[in-house]
Structure 1
Amino acid sequence: MIIGLTGGIASGKSTVSKILSKMGIIVVDADIVAREVMESKEVIKRISDEFGENILDKKGKLDRSKLREVVFSSKKSVGKLNSIVHPTVIERFENERKKSIITGEMLVFDIPLLFEAKMEDLCDKVIVVYVDIETQIKRVMERDGSKRETAINIIKNQMPLSEKLERADIKIKNDGTIEELEKKIKDVFSKV
């Protein structure tokens, strides 16, 4: 079985992934896969051709904070970045799915943009983890050192939470302690 795990930025998906890993469930993290894809010279060149060389550091690697500021200023820019990175990311997830079908192992695909990337068809069930918007903004600012405006722009450029919740098979509100979240996760996974 393949479970898709998604939710808005800073909603607690990484924490849920850690809990699942502790439970012995294999988690494939789209952020890690995308980071690996974005480190390839070919992709770096395509991104800098599209967004300018000012998004590169002195060593010619992507400066993620500069890229974030440029890309999340408009939905069009987000779309352009996704069109460069997503095809290779999707291919990797399709390969993981094929392996899972052969081995029969349960996999969790931790994909922040699961619906936006139209990857829900790779999953048998979809879980959406969510928090209120002020918590999201605060967490993005603290975690990434982002300005409030940048955090808001990132959230605005994602699919609205209401739409994600509507499309979810399972909804988990992350509004308590890690222990409470862990209990919710164990309850959900005892039933799937």
Structure 2
Amino acid sequence: MIIAGLTGGIATGKTTVAAFLRQAGAVIIDADRIARDAVRQGLPAWRNIVESFGREILQEDGEIHREKLGRIIFHDAGRKETLNQIVHPFVFEGMADQMKKIQEADPDAVVIQDIPLLFEAGMHHRLPRIIVVYIPEPLQIARLMERNHLSEADAMARIRSQISIEEKKKRADILIDNSGTLDQTRSRSLEVYALLKQSVPVDRAKSERNA
């Protein structure tokens, strides 16, 4: 398999890029979706979150209210770390299960692990290539305010809870600039997919380095 991680900052357009890569033929493993499934009502992660944060963060139907929980963790690094320690093990397990199934079904697949907090969770050490979706921070703030109907202060709190987009840009193996038009982002995404298809599969690359 050819494997790469995909990340960015909040509101940089990672979901859009993932969709383009999927359309091109990549298999996408969506860490955020795995996390959402892991915290559904009654599951172990859900119980641990309710125990740590209280039932005030629940909706009427008993599911976790993501916005309420977000308002807590984006203003408190300690509480954010508590949530990560609860959820991340379930996410890692879910991703490993999906990787195993892909390996069995299509050993030649181009697999993109879509991980919003890839650097923050330390997962960049486990991946051979990192794709970062980038926009300058002022544009990031503006897009987040518009998308989530946030004040500038709330938008800044969410952005500051992550590693800065400029730092992520420096750490990227492959950069996709999403500050232009949608067509430009699509073209760059397809270009990146083609580059990945031409690259050496991970297993073969490892064996060649160890030879």
Q: TM-score range by the shorter chain?
A: over 0.9
Deviations along 1:101-142, one digit per CA (max 9) or x if unpaired, are: 443211111111011112224422110011111221222222
Alignment partner, residue 6 of structure 1: 7
Asked if the contact 1:56–1:62 (Cα under 8 Å) also holds between the matched residues in 2, the reply is: yes
Equivalent residue in structure 2 for 1:87, among 86, 89, 98? 89
Compare 21-30 and 10-19 and name the one that shifted more.
21-30
Distance in 2 separating the partners of 1:190 and 1:22 = 12
Equivalent residue in structure 2 for 1:74, among 63, 73, 76? 76
Which blocks of at least 5 consecutive residues in structure 1 are unaligned?
none
Question: How do 1:102-181 and structure 2 match up within 5 A?
Answer: 102=104, 103-104=106-107, 105-181=109-185
C-alpha displacement of 1:163: 2.6
Distance in 1 separating the partners of 2:145 and 2:57 = 20
Equivalent residue in structure 2 for 1:47, among 38, 45, 49? 49
Larger radius of gyration: 2
Matched-pair identity in %: 38
Which blocks of at least 5 consecutive residues in structure 2 are unaligned?
197-211
Alignment partner, residue 191 of structure 2: 187
User: 3-state SS of the aligned residue for 2:195?
Assistant: coil
Distance in 2 separating the partners of 1:57 and 1:146 = 20
Distance in 1 separating the partners of 2:39 and 2:147 = 21
AA matched with 2:156: I
Asked if the contact 1:2–1:106 (Cα under 8 Å) also holds between the matched residues in 2, the reply is: yes
C-alpha displacement of 1:40: 4.2
Asked if the contact 1:2–1:122 (Cα under 8 Å) also holds between the matched residues in 2, the reply is: no
Asked if the contact 2:11–2:144 (Cα under 8 Å) also holds between the matched residues in 1, the reply is: yes
Compare 94-103 and 124-133 and name the one that shifted more.
94-103
Distance in 2 separating the partners of 1:90 and 1:121 = 14
Asked if the contact 1:6–1:112 (Cα under 8 Å) also holds between the matched residues in 2, the reply is: yes
Change (3 A) 1:119 1:79: same
Distance in 2 separating the partners of 1:96 and 1:110 = 12
C-alpha displacement of 1:38: 1.4
